[in-house]
Homo-oligomer: A and B are copies of this chain.
Amino acid sequence: MVKKLRPQNYNEVLYVGHFFRKGLPVLMDLSDLSEDEAKQLVDFATGLVFARRGSLDRVDRRLFLLQP
């Protein structure tokens, strides 16, 4: 099961981390964020996947797939 999340602000990155940490792939849709917030979430996600040797793929301009 892939968890689909569409964060509405920077703090909601915690949900992304929460499901990823549980071992679920997360499809992160950043369409509702400003350019700056979107960049922050991508940097957070980069650290998240690095820590667990997972992968981060950009599937569309504002859509990223994190895999544990």
Cβ–Cβ < 8 Å partners of A47 in chain B: 13, 17, 43-51
Interface centre among A13, A21, A46, A50 (most CB of B within 10 A): A50
Number of copies: 2
Is A40 an interface residue, CB under 8 A from the partner?
Answer: yes
Assembled-state Cα–Cα distance A20/B51 (Å):
8
Q: Which of B13, B14, B17, B43 contacts A44 (CB 8 A)?
A: B43
Name A's B-contacting residues (CB within 8 A): 13-14, 17, 20-21, 39-40, 43-53
9 A-B pairs (CB sep. < 8 Å) = A20-B51, A43-B44, A44-B44, A44-B47, A46-B47, A47-B48, A47-B49, A47-B50, A48-B51
